[in-house]
A and B are shown apart, each in its own frame.
Chain A
Amino acid sequence: MLSQKFLVEDKVAKIALAFAVLLLLLGGLFGFLQVLSRAPGMPQLVTADLYYAGLTLHGVALAVLWTAFFIVALAVFVLTRELGLNMNGPLLLGGAVLAILGSLMGAVAILTGQASVLYTFYPPLNASPLFFIGVAIVVIGTWLISAAIIEVILRWRRQNPGKEIPLAAYGVLTTIIIWLMATPPVALIVLLYSIPMSLFGAPVDVLEWRLWFWYFGHPLVYFWLVPTITIWYTLLPKVLGTEVYSKTMAKVVFVLFILASVPVGLHHQFVDPGVHPVYKYLHTVLTYMVAVPSFLTAFNVIATLEKAGRMRGGKGLFGWVTALPWGKDPVFTGITFAIILFGIAGFSGVVNASFNINYMVHNTSWVVGHLHLTVGGGITLTFIATTFLLMPLLFGRDYIAKKLLIAIPTLWFVGQLIFSFAYHLSGIYGVPRRTFLGEAPYLQTPDAFTYVAQWAPLMQIGAVGGVIFAIAGALFVLLTFASIAKGPRIQPSGGELKISPEVGPATFLDRVGLIVLIALVIIVISYSLPVLEIYGRGLSPAPPYWPSGAAAG
């Protein structure tokens, strides 16, 4: 019986999934309050202290933790079913316990007002050591889980010489490789700079710190995205009764993500002083390289949908679109809406990546619109729709009120479209991101300044969209927890689902070690120049301050 074979793995997956949904609730609640707080004329429910503490929690709980814990649940479930092997129990359990412990430490520090530093925690803004130590413990926890994942894949390859890695497992492997390449520098700057700053008031060089933070910060995006497109390549065709249009191109895409997702961090620092424009342009080129696999994915996914639509009798140029089960299957509808949202985000992403065009939108609400369409739209909606399948398999309980499920992706989609339209446009008008606009003095007299009169109406439209997808999120959390507790029993928990296309012989795309080696060479090339510049010039550390404005040194 399978449910007996993966007892420990399924326990970890269940805990990770339930904790992820809890974090979605916590982070989403503050998102709901913020979208109102940013819109003059809407109900102002928070103070500045709570706004920024809540904004920190919103970013940490949603962008970092909800995604990471969902990915752990997905990865463990997919690998055990695709490979048919047990994973290293102590590594998995130990990693999960550390990750949850670190998350709780961070959450306590934020909610008690001791860490209002946002999820980027740029020094020299100071926070409680509890927050920074929590961050370090989460990272260590993820490394243990990563080790368990790498170990089971290596063991499977030893037992299956000459076979290609199943597509879904390849996606998981790509995710973990990106995570392991990206996280060591951020762990180091937390250990060497943020913790000593917090404990002893030690000064920090902000440019050096930001270089290594964004070395991690952009691949973090691909850590979310690669499992998401793994779902698009495997689970989406599965629920439509077909296979991905091109399995080979899907793997090529994963290889390109391994090669180009890390050496691009400077595109977050286009307007930083102290980094030469030529090095910024080099990272622009590499960022454009990493847009290529996204374009290839768009083609492959749409071709897969066309195949499924034609199987259902769709004729002519666009007949296959209407032949798909829109509004009937919540998993299909959710994932496809997610793909559309992500596609739109691709356009604003290219603007962000575009070097000198970036200063039109840098640190404006445009970026908020982009980030919500990507991690909140394409990625989170994919994860929500996947939970519709994954939760019943893991917990052995079906969803209650199944007819309501379709409302979740529909409201989420509509809300995201309204929100991101308003936020993108207001960014062009110069609305700053991360700002408690409800109390901003310059919005008390908006007509005094050029452009500022356009802000409030757009922020109000954004609030309407935000509230709509907050309702969708609340419905999702409510139905998921109610179903885990009281849903009708369907079968013993630990169900089975194979999602990869049939496994063929290994090709050069399975020489993962070589691909990682090439990726490391590209990283060294792209980062050696700014590293030589910044360290060669000498550092200029600055002493810490509390978010209140008081000196902390």
Chain B
Amino acid sequence: MSHGSAIHKEEKVWAAVVAAMVAVFLAALAYAAWVTGLQVPGSDVELVNPKTVLQELKPGVREVAPGRYEVTLVGRMFSWIPAEITLKDPVEVKFRLTSIDVIHGFQIVGTNVNVMVFPGYVAEITWRVPQNYEGRYLMVCNEYCGIGHQNMYGAINIVRTK
């Protein structure tokens, strides 16, 4: 073999280190997703007609059990419907989200809640609310949706009584 055409020993060691690191990282991600439940959205989806979705989905907050909420939110250029939400002692919140016009992005700043909002699809994401979360959080649109994108926001108030 001519000079430079072999793979050096140090490189083989490095490649093995990299492969091991990749395996550990991937295992950690899978563990977090399927064992501890830090899962990405996507397993539940429903198709809807963006033209009639406001009548069909009835945006708003429903308390299905004490501390367990289901929140239906609809994005439109350039606001969330509803734009103001208050949750009392929330433990777990299931968000159901869709759009009546273009793509939006739903994020509650400072939390794990971050999901794309598509016209034609209802996205679902479940948030287990940490005990120490209290106060007013920004619900921001984080996907460009048109010239008024910077005006699209809402607020979620978390009230603790116990």
* Residues of A bordering B, CB below 8 Å: 48-49, 52, 55, 116, 118, 122, 124-125, 205-207, 243-249, 252, 269-277, 280-281, 284-285, 288-289, 291-292, 295-296, 299-300, 303, 350, 354-360, 362-364, 429-430, 432-437, 439-442, 448-452, 501-502, 504, 507, 537-538, 540-543, 545-549, 551
Contacts and interface: CB of A to CB of B under 8 A. Distances in A.
A125 B103 contact: yes
B30 interface: yes
B142 A356 contact: no
Interface string B1-21: 010111110110011001100
A81 B42 CA distance: 50
A121 to B, nearest CB: 10
Given A277-B41, A430-B109, 14 more contacts: A49-B147, A273-B42, A356-B33, A432-B107, A432-B141, A439-B150, A448-B136, A448-B155, A449-B136, A450-B110, A540-B121, A542-B99, A545-B77, A548-B147
B114 A271 contact: yes
B48 interface: yes
Contact of A273 (B38, B114, B122, B144): B122
Given A207-B121, A440-B151, A356 B29 contact: yes
A439 B149 CA distance: 10
Contacts of B103: 122, 124-125, 206
B140 A442 contact: yes
Nearest to B33: A356
A436 to B, nearest CB: 4
B19 A292 contact: yes
Interface residues of B, number: 72
A452 to B, nearest CB: 6
B42 A272 contact: yes
B147 A125 contact: no
A424 B47 CA distance: 35
Given A124-B101, A540-B48, A362 B14 contact: no
B121 A449 contact: no
Contacts of A243: 4
A502 B3 CA distance: 10
A151 B144 CA distance: 41
A277 B109 contact: no
Nearest to B8: A246
A164 B143 CA distance: 47
A540 B14 contact: no
Contacts of B136: 448-450
A549 B142 contact: no
Interface in B67-120: 77-78, 99, 101-103, 105, 107, 109-110, 112-116, 118-120
Nearest to A279: B42
Contacts, number: 239
A543 B5 CA distance: 57
Given A48-B147, A124-B119, A430-B138, A248 B50 contact: no
Highest count of chain B CB atoms <10 Å: which of A118, A359, A429:
A359
Nearest to B30: A281
Nearest to A436: B150
A542 B107 CA distance: 22
B40 interface: yes
A274 B45 contact: yes
Q: Which 9 interchain pairs have the tightest Cβ spacing?
A: A540-B120, A273-B123, A430-B109, A542-B119, A432-B142, A363-B142, A547-B146, A449-B138, A549-B77
Contacts of B38: 356
A434 B22 contact: no
A394 B122 CA distance: 55
14 contacts: A116-B146, A205-B120, A246-B8, A248-B4, A249-B11, A271-B125, A274-B45, A356-B32, A356-B39, A363-B105, A432-B141, A451-B138, A542-B101, A545-B101
Nearest to B158: A450
B26 A288 contact: yes
A549 B18 contact: no
B150 A288 contact: no
B71 to A, nearest CB: 15
Contacts of B29: 281, 284, 354-357
Contact of A452 (B42, B138, B151): B138
B66 interface: no
Contact of A272 (B2, B118, B141): B118
Contacts of A363: 105, 107, 114, 142-143
A450 B132 CA distance: 13
Nearest to A365: B142
Contacts of A432: 105, 107, 140-142
A546 to B, nearest CB: 8
Contacts of B39: 277, 356
